[in-house]
């Protein structure tokens, strides 16, 4: 019988003073480069979780210290980050963001008996083919996300000419394939299925092809940068095509790229945890400090909460007893009460629909319902700036070169 564990972090307390750190844990993601906005989400969530846990007495009476790894959503760099964490002797890593980084890094963590809980990697293979029992995630999966998206398109746009695009990454292609699968299972056939190369600036030829095909809705399996550029270029060609994508658009940077061209963009994401009562003290604290609370901030916080609670229950940070506690426990976190199944997947509600409106995204009233986006006030307000720099090409799980990250 699963035991309900007390939350490891006392929410609402302010961390003050520098305490000597006895346990180093890691957080990893794209901290630099074109996709650094998501790395920032992971870092902010991890830093706040560590601060709150330390203020509440730490883990088994010992203070936490955070080591930050920058993988730039590149699989080779992710493996290097994982090996560096191993050399530091960390027992736990919250990360990575990209599936194309988490999957190869997870092999290192399994070999070194380091627990990994990703807040954001959604490719099913991360847990379906996990290399060890210490690999978990607190986010959903692309087959869940694709089911919501495919069924939503079929139900709400039954007569539309639909294009399904993917950026050839583990995330983007996987998500597009799952969306297409469920769309076709609903009795529909896409009018156009195409792959594109991430990292380019000009997608006018692809946009022109969609215009000539009379595309009414385009589903983009890929990242916010390319989706934003396509949105602008479609509007420049006079297209009023509905744009739809996945959780990689959950960043203010999408609107910074699109401006008004992003109006009405639809996307799938997990139910916004910022409305949870348990999350309110953390959200208020971060907002008071001018820090982001969007996207995967609270998912990263929750990953660290779950590990800290399991370590406290085990009375140790050693691999085997903490894995046992994670497998057997139920954890009170900022994203809700959660546990893990036999694969390491989280037992939380899946995905719902969101809509971008005037620079903010709001959860719609029903994942399968049409109509306007009712305000559950899941807004991503605040000024956004485009990330500086660029990222190196990403390799696929099979060793082939991919050209964009995949969460």
Specify the CATH number of the domain 143-269+351-381.
Answer: 3.40.50.2300
pLDDT tens per residue across span 246-276: 999 999 999 999 999 999 999 999 988 998 9
* Cβ-based neighbours of 269, under 8 Å, separated by 6 or more: 246, 247, 250, 351, 352, 354, 363
Strands (E), 121-206: 135-137, 162-166, 192-195
What pLDDT score does 366 carry? 54
| Cα–Cα distance, 281 to 296 (Å, whole number) | 17
**Predicted pLDDT of residue 41:** 96
Same fold, 3-140+273-338 and 143-269+351-381: yes
Residue with tokens 């870092």: 43
**Is 50 exceeded by the pLDDT of residue 392?**
no
The stretch 102-124 carries a mean pLDDT of 97
Interhelix angle 36-55/280-288, nearest 10 degrees: 110
- pLDDT recorded at residue 320: 98
Q: By three-state DSSP, how is residue 405 classified? A: coil
Mean pLDDT over all residues of the chain? 87
Quick one: pLDDT at residue 312? Answer: 98
pLDDT of 275 reads 87
> Where do the DSSP E strands lie in 167-227?
192-195, 217-221
385: pLDDT strictly greater than 60: no
H-assigned helices in 186-318: 204-212, 224-236, 252-258, 280-288, 297-314
pLDDT digits (tens, 9 = 90+) for 357-384: 999 999 987 544 333 333 233 333 333 3
Average pLDDT over residues 209-213: 97
Q: Residue 204 pLDDT > 90, yes or no?
A: yes
Q: What is the pLDDT of residues 8-62, one digit of tens each?
A: 433 333 333 344 448 999 999 999 987 899 999 999 999 999 999 999 999 999 9
Helix boundaries (H) for 89-202:
99-112, 125-128, 142-156, 170-185
Distance CA 298, CA 335 (A): 7
Q: Which CATH number fits domain 3-140+273-338: 3.20.20.80, 3.40.50.2300, 3.90.550.10, 3.40.50.300?
A: 3.40.50.2300
The pLDDT tens digits for 286-336 are: 999 999 999 999 999 999 999 999 999 999 999 999 999 999 999 999 999
Which is nearest to 25 in space by CA: 135, 159, 126, 117?
A: 117
Asked if the model's pLDDT at residue 405 lies above 70, the reply is no
Q: pTM of this prediction?
A: 0.80
pLDDT category at 173 given cuts 50, 70, 90 is: very high
pLDDT at residue 155 tops 80: yes
Q: Where are the domains of the chain?
A: 3-140+273-338, 143-269+351-381
Strand order through the sheet with 360-363? 192-195, 162-166, 217-221, 242-245, 266-269, 352-357, 360-363
Q: What's the confidence (pLDDT) of residue 374?
A: 30
């Amino acid at each position: 019988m699963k035991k309900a564990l007390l939350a490891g972090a006392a929410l609402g307390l302010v961390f003050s003073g520098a305490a000597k750190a006895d346990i180093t844990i890691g957080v990893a993601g794209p901290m630099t480069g074109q996709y650094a906005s998501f790395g920032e989400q992971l870092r902010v969530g991890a830093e706040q979780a560590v601060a709150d846990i330390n203020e509440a007495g730490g883990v088994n009476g010992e203070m936490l210290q955070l080591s930050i790894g920058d993988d730039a959503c590149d699989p080779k760099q992710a493996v290097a980050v994982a090996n560096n964490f191993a050399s530091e002797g960390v027992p736990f890593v919250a990360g990575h963001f990209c599936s194309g980084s988490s999957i190869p890094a997870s092999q290192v963590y399994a070999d070194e008996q380091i627990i990994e809980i990703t807040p954001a990697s959604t490719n099913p293979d991360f847990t379906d083919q996990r290399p060890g029992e210490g690999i978990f995630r607190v986010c959903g999966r692309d087959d869940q996300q694709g089911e919501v998206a495919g069924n939503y398109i079929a139900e709400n746009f039954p007569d539309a000419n639909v294009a399904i695009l993917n950026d050839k990454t583990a995330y983007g292609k996987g998500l597009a394939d799952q969306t297409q699968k469920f769309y076709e299972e609903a009795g529909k056939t896409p009018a156009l299925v195409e792959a594109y190369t991430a990292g380019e600036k000009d997608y006018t030829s692809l946009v022109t092809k969609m215009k000539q095909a009379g595309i009414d809705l385009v589903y983009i399996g890929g990242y916010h940068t390319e989706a934003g550029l396509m949105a602008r270029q479609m509007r420049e060609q006079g297209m009023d095509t509905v744009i739809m994508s996945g959780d990689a658009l959950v960043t203010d940077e999408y609107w910074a790229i699109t401006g008004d061209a992003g109006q009405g963009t639809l996307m799938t994401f997990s139910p916004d945890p910022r409305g949870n009562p348990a999350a309110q003290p953390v959200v208020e604290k971060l907002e008071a400090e001018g820090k982001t609370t969007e996207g995967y901030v609270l998912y990263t916080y929750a990953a660290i909460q779950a590990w800290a609670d399991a370590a406290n229950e085990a009375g140790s940070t050693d691999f085997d007893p903490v894995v046992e506690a994670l497998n057997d426990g139920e954890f009170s976190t900022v994203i809700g009460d959660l546990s893990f199944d036999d694969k390491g997947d989280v037992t939380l509600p899946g995905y719902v629909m969101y809509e971008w409106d005037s620079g903010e995204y709001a959860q719609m009233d029903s994942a399968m319902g049409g109509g306007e986006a009712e305000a559950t006030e899941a807004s991503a307000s605040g000024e956004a700036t485009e990330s500086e720099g660029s990222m190196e090409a990403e390799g696929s799980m099979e060793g082939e070169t991919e050209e964009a990250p995949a969460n």
